[in-house]
Structure 1
Amino acid sequence: MEHRHLGQSGLMVSEVTYGNWLTHGELVDRDQAVACIRAALDAGVTTFDTADVYARGAAEELLGTALGGVRRSSLVIASKVCLPTGDGPNDRGLSRKHIMESCEASLRRLRTDYLDLYQAHRFDETTPLEETLVAFDDLVRQGKVLYLGVSEWTATQIESALTVIRELGLRSRIVSNQPQYNMLWRVIEPEVVPLCLREGIGQLAFQPLAQGVLTGKYRPGQEPPDGSRGKAGGRAPAFIGRVLGPRLLEQVQDLLPVAAECGLSAAQLAIAWVLRQPGVSSVVAGATRPEQVTENASASGRTIDEAVLKRVDEILGDLVDRDPAKTARMMAVKPDWARSASASG
């Protein structure tokens, strides 16, 4: 496992970060989830990403348990705050109250005294940006958080935050952005990436496999395979349904020989592709089985050349979405290729 600086900060993160989004606490039983985390550790993964909203805290609890006994200073543990964690009016957003209370709850569930990285899970239009950033800065001053990041913010939102930080003279700064980013979904490239490169903010790219679609396991005209997210319960099928479509699945099959020529699996090609992009510090990948963790981690350090990048672009063609307006609407808007695929059955 190779490591990179998180943006222009001094923090080193593993090229592959282990994420426990829909898998832990919802789709995978406890023993299997712990086995996946242990497989990540065995593969040299040192960076683990979670959030308070994942399975209403159960994901953080499981991660804290599974990492018990591991030397804390050898790990980078990241969590997030903003999305609803309860039914009360203050159980969401980026108010000082919610940030402070959520941080304490995350620390308790994760069984740690501090978070290496604390991220604003979304932008909060209802709270003054100054209030949010001062609260984050106070957590850094208190030693409960070491570094700050954001997730799925637009370039304008990130730039506004940087301006406030400078105007208020806050000590802490934003070192990372966590966007959805993969071969198909490239909406951060026109605006977010150039700003982050200029400001020294690294990308922690999640969904590098497009919810498993880029592994090639979903085949045209066939039911999702048993054990896949597309066949699972909970929220996973709804997310997978956004990206499944006959034309897309046919094009993904054409990526398989490209991966084979590189000596990679389709999943490894997808991860290596993201790691090849400017400004990417790490790829956040989850898994439902330990062998998937090992396969994903093995993409670290694998290089692909310009000719391969060109072939990927030629194969996917107009299925690639680069509309920057969709950065802030990722959860609500289908990519064009998913919408057209759904319309065609």
Structure 2
Amino acid sequence: KMPTQQGLSHKHVIDACDNALRRLHLDYLDLYFCHRPDPDTPIEETVRAMHTLVMQGKICYWGTSEWSASELEEAYKIAGELNLTPPSMEQPEYNMFARHKMENEFLPLFEKEGLGTTIWSPLSSGLLTGKYMDGMPDNTRTSLDNYQFIKDNFESEEYKEKHDKVRELHALSEEVGIPLVNMALCWCLKNQNVSTVILGASKEDQLTQNLESLKYSDQFDSTLMEKIETILKK
């Protein structure tokens, strides 16, 4: 590909949006993401491109995915100085085993800029569903060739420690009467800086179960959160 056919250059950001609108048969996008930072393109160029799309009415808001706090701070600084449209959302990984960005790095941005979040992998690639506690079933992603990296991760020492915690979390979920998958999703939603959770369901019954998490939200009191935290800190 040519340099202007990839990454977050002004031309590619504009062209990709136009192509998406054409494929989706839409007049505008509600939210348009910069999927991963682009070290080869100045952030100012990307911010200008997104502002152009907002002014053209092709997008309502724009966001980022897996940007660092410093990259986001630069984007906000540029937007403020040049009177451009700043990002509204960041899409970080967040779950019981991936917490640093949401609970530490991004805190100043939540407070100062009102940054929203659309978190991904709330179930840690399925680990927090409990379905891998007794091995890797044949009907899961780990059995597919293009998901070998997940299988490799699950066999690492780090993941073995996580599996031990999942077993304890599963026992706690049975104790309180909340399925583990719903407990993991509710835990994410309890963070006031989580705007929405992206569900990675591959089957209808998985989606149905995930959505049932909302009915357990009232059971998530400080006592339950403390019990979960005790397990996670081991």
Q: Offset at 1:218? A: 0.3
Picking from 311, 314, 318, the partner of 2:227 is 311
My pick for the range that moved more, 289-298 or 110-119, is 110-119
Confirm whether residue 163 of structure 1 aligns to residue 77 of structure 2. yes
Q: Offset at 1:88? A: 3.6
Conserved? CA contact 1:211–1:240, under 8 Å:
no
Deviations 1:144-167 (CA, angstroms, capped at 9, x unpaired): 100111111111111110000011
Letter of the 2:183 counterpart: L
Query: What corresponds to 2:137 in structure 1?
Result: 225
Q: Give the TM-score, by structure 2 length.
A: 0.91
Q: Offset at 1:301? A: 5.2
Query: What corresponds to 2:126 in structure 1?
Result: 212
Confirm whether residue 186 of structure 1 aligns to residue 102 of structure 2. no
Q: Offset at 1:104? A: 1.3
Confirm whether residue 111 of structure 1 aligns to residue 25 of structure 2. yes
Confirm whether residue 302 of structure 1 aligns to residue 213 of structure 2. no
1:213/1:128 CA distance change after superposition, 3 Å? same
Confirm whether residue 154 of structure 1 aligns to residue 68 of structure 2. yes
Distance 1:300 1:240 in 2: 30
Instruction: Within 5 Å, give how 1:96-135 maps onto structure 2.
Output: 96-135=10-49
Distance 1:310 1:198 in 2: 28
3-state SS of paired residue (1:203):
strand
3-state SS of paired residue (2:54):
helix
Deviations 1:102-142 (CA, angstroms, capped at 9, x unpaired): 11122222232211001111122211222111110110111
3-state SS of paired residue (2:88):
strand
Letter of the 1:139 counterpart: L
Q: Which has the higher strand share?
A: 1
Distance 1:276 1:163 in 2: 30
3-state SS of paired residue (1:254):
helix
Higher relative contact order (CA 8 A, sep 6+): 1
3-state SS of paired residue (1:285):
coil
Letter of the 1:174 counterpart: P
The percentage of aligned residue pairs carrying the same residue is 37
Query: What corresponds to 2:149 in structure 1?
Result: 238
Distance 1:230 1:288 in 2: 13
Confirm whether residue 270 of structure 1 aligns to residue 181 of structure 2. no
Deviations 1:297-342 (CA, angstroms, capped at 9, x unpaired): 1113532112222211221225xxxxxxxxxxxxxxxxxxxxxxxx
Q: Offset at 1:240? A: 4.6
Query: What corresponds to 2:52 in structure 1?
Result: 138
Letter of the 2:226 counterpart: K
Q: Give the TM-score, by structure 1 length.
A: 0.63
Distance 1:213 1:279 in 2: 23
Conserved? CA contact 1:94–1:132, under 8 Å:
yes
> Over aligned residues, Cα RMSD in angstroms?
1.7
Conserved? CA contact 2:64–2:90, under 8 Å:
yes
Q: Offset at 1:228? A: 0.9
Deviations 1:179-227 (CA, angstroms, capped at 9, x unpaired): 000000112121213322321111111000000000011025x3x1121
Q: Offset at 1:237? A: 2.7
1:198/1:262 CA distance change after superposition, 3 Å? farther
Distance 1:92 1:239 in 2: 26
1:242/1:88 CA distance change after superposition, 3 Å? farther
Picking from 79, 88, 93, the partner of 2:7 is 93
Conserved? CA contact 1:116–1:146, under 8 Å:
yes
1:114/1:263 CA distance change after superposition, 3 Å? farther
Distance 1:230 1:169 in 2: 47
Letter of the 1:263 counterpart: G
3-state SS of paired residue (1:242):
helix
3-state SS of paired residue (1:143):
coil
Conserved? CA contact 1:197–1:279, under 8 Å:
no
Structure 2, unaligned stretches of length 5 or more?
Answer: none
Structure 1, unaligned stretches of length 5 or more?
Answer: 1-86, 319-345
Alignment coverage as a number of residue pairs: 228
Letter of the 2:153 counterpart: R
Conserved? CA contact 1:252–1:316, under 8 Å:
no
